[in-house]
């Protein structure tokens, strides 16, 4: 549900939000993409999925590498705790996705 009836796009030159009326059911005005429906064809969806990045630096390949490293580290720590090499709590934080896929 939209709590605001004005566009929430930030205008950095003016240092405030747009404030124009939003397109019905959206959070942006016509000028800031409220009329956009996004990709609708299978080709368009695939094209967007292929180029999607976060902050322009993180690609799917880099995320996969980082997930593999986290998975390997988690396995190593688990093995060391079982062998008694190290003691104490396990690594804090979310489990790597590969670890969850492996049924851990």
| Sequence ranges of the domains in the chain | 10-51, 60-87+97-101
Q: Is the Cβ–Cβ distance between 2 and 25 less than 8 Å? A: yes
Mean of the per-residue pLDDT values of the chain: 80
Q: Tell me the mean pLDDT in the region 20-38.
A: 88
For the chain, percent of residues with pLDDT exceeding 70:
78
Does this model's pTM top 0.75?
Answer: no
* 43: pLDDT strictly greater than 90: yes
Question: What's residue 42's pLDDT?
Answer: 92
* Confidence class for position 96, pLDDT limits 50, 70, 90: low
Arithmetic mean of pLDDT, 83-88: 86
Torsion on CA atoms 62, 68, 70, 76, rounded to nearest 10: -150
Q: What pLDDT, on a 0 to 100 scale, did the predictor assign at position 41?
A: 92
């Amino acid at each position: 549900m939209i709590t605001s009836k004005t566009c929430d796009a930030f205008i950095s030159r003016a240092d405030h939000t747009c404030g124009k009326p939003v397109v019905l059911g959206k959070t942006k005005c016509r000028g800031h993409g409220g009329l956009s429906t996004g990709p609708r064809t299978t080709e368009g969806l695939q094209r967007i999925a292929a180029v999607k990045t976060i902050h322009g630096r993180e690609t799917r390949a880099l995320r996969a590498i980082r997930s593999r490293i986290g998975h390997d580290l988690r396995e190593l720590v688990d093995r060391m705790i079982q062998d008694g090499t190290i003691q104490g709590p396990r690594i804090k934080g979310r489990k790597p996705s590969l670890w969850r896929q492996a049924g851990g």
